[in-house]
Structure 1
C-alpha cells in the first residue's frame, strides 16, 4: 500500500466515525502543518537576527584569526567585503534565516513527523527513532570535523595568493561555502547508518560489505579528495580515516545481525523438516 493510502487508512478512525479520510482532508492537514512550520521558522529567524554577531564571529573565526600575511586581505581588521549597498542587509537576513531553521529544527521536525507517523508500521517507527537518535550525533560529529579543518584549508588555499595581490572575500560566498562544507561532512557521516538500515531491511548483507572492502577504500579516497576544500593530504585524511572506521564498524554490526537472522531462520526451518519426515 502506498504511503498516502496508509495515512488515509490509519487516520480514518478519527474522521467521520471511521470513514475513509478524503485526499482534501490530508491536504488541509498538510497545509496546517506547513503554516505552523513557517511561523516557527519566522520566530526563529527573528531570534537569529539578534544572534547574528556571535554566530558570525564563530563562523568566521577560522579565517579572521589567520595572520594578515596569510589571508592577505585589505587590512588587519577587514576579512570580508560586500559588493553592493544592500549586500550587508541581505547577508544578515540570510544568516538569520539559517540560524532560525537550525534553532527551531526540533519543532518543525516534530510537525513533519506528526504528519508522516500514521503511515508507518510500528517496526518502521522504531527504525525512524533509531535513525534520529544515532544519525543526529553522527551528523554533528561530521560537522565538527569540517569546522576543525577549515583553518588548515584556508591556509592552503590562500597560500596561492601572489605577494602583489589582495583577497576580496565576499561574505555571502564565504558563509555559503562553509555551510556547504559542513553539510557535506555531516551527510557523509550518515553513510554507515544508511548501510545498517539497508542490512536491517534485508537489502544488503555484511558479507557483501566485507568482499567490497577494496572498492570502498578506493571510493572513499576519491570522494575525500573531491569534497575536501584543500587538496593537501591532511584534509583528505581527516575525512577518509573516520569514514573508513565507521564503514568497518557498520560492516561488523551487519555481519553480527546476519548471523543472528541466519540462526533464527534455521531454527524456524527445523520443525518444518521434522514435520516432513
Structure 2
C-alpha cells in the first residue's frame, strides 16, 4: 500500500486499541478490590512484628487527598491492559502481518507460542519469592521505627519485579532464534559459559529491585539453567545442520 494508506491503517488500529484498553480499564476499576488483595497478600500476610507497619489492618499509606483515587485509576489501567492483551496484540499483529513473509510469520508464531509460557513462568516465580524478599528487606527496620509503605511505590515495585523476571526468561528464546538465523553457534555458547555466568550474576544484581541476595539468586539460577538448555538445543541444531550440508548430491536423490 502507499505510505498514506499505511498511516491510515495504523491510525485505525491505534484507535481500536485505545477503545479496547478503555473498556478494559472500566472493567479493571470494578475488579480493583480482588486484584489489590491478591497483589498485596505477600506483604499483608506477614506478621506485624515482621512488616512493622502502623497496625494489623494497615499495610499501606497515601500521602495526599487524591492519592487513593489516582492509585485506583492507575491499577485499573494496568488491569485493563492485561485483560485485553489478546485483543490489542491481535490488532498489532493484524497491522504487521501483511509485511512479513511466510517464514517470518512461522517464526513469529513460534516466538509467541514459546515466549508466552516462559514469560508467565518468570512472572510466577517472581510472585512466589515476594514474601521472602519482603521478609529480608523489612528485617532491617529498627525496633524503634515503623514502615510507612506507599501503595503506589509498592505496586510499582511488584510490577517491576514481575516484568523483569518475565522478560529475563525470554533470553533463551532469543538465543535460539539467533542460532536458527545463523548468527550464533552452539559452540560459542559453550565456550562462553563462564563469562555468561558472571554476566548473569551482574545483571541479576543490578535489575532485581532491592538488590537482596535471595531475589538475585532466585533469578540467577533459573536463568543459567535456561541458558544451558538453550545452548544444548543450539549444539543439536548445529550438528543436524552440518550433517545436511555434508551430504553428497547422490545421497539426496531417491533410489529407483
Sort the TM-score into its range (normalised by shorter chain). over 0.9
What corresponds to 2:194 in structure 1? Answer: 214
Q: C-alpha separation between the residues in 2 aligned to 1:74 and 1:136?
A: 40
What number of residue pairs does the alignment pair up?
250
Q: C-alpha separation between the residues in 2 aligned to 1:265 and 1:160?
A: 61
Q: C-alpha separation between the residues in 1 aligned to 2:91 and 2:110?
A: 18
Cα RMSD of the aligned pairs, angstroms, is 1.2
Which residues of structure 1 form unaligned runs of 5+?
1-20, 273-277
Which residues of structure 2 form unaligned runs of 5+?
251-256
| Larger Rg computed on CA atoms | 1
Map residues 100-249 of structure 1 onto 2, 5 A cutoff.
100-249=80-229
- 1:204-255 Cα distance to aligned partner (Å, 9 max, x none): 0000000001111111122222233454543322211111111111001111
Q: C-alpha separation between the residues in 1 aligned to 2:217 and 2:58?
A: 32
TM-score, scaled to structure 2: 0.95
What corresponds to 1:59 in structure 2? Answer: 39
- 1:132-180 Cα distance to aligned partner (Å, 9 max, x none): 0000000000001111111111111111111111111100011011101
Answer whether contact 1:156 1:230 (CA < 8 A) is retained: no
Instruction: Return closer, same or farther for 1:94/1:83 CA change in 2, 3 Å cut-off.
Output: same
Q: C-alpha separation between the residues in 2 aligned to 1:232 and 1:35?
A: 42
Q: C-alpha separation between the residues in 2 aligned to 1:231 and 1:203?
A: 33
Answer whether contact 2:123 2:166 (CA < 8 A) is retained: yes
Q: C-alpha separation between the residues in 2 aligned to 1:239 and 1:184?
A: 9
Answer whether contact 2:133 2:214 (CA < 8 A) is retained: no
Answer whether contact 1:154 1:230 (CA < 8 A) is retained: no
Map residues 84-103 of structure 1 onto 2, 5 A cutoff.
84-103=64-83
What corresponds to 2:254 in structure 1? Answer: none
What corresponds to 1:275 in structure 2? Answer: none
Query: SS in structure 2 opposite 1:53?
Result: helix
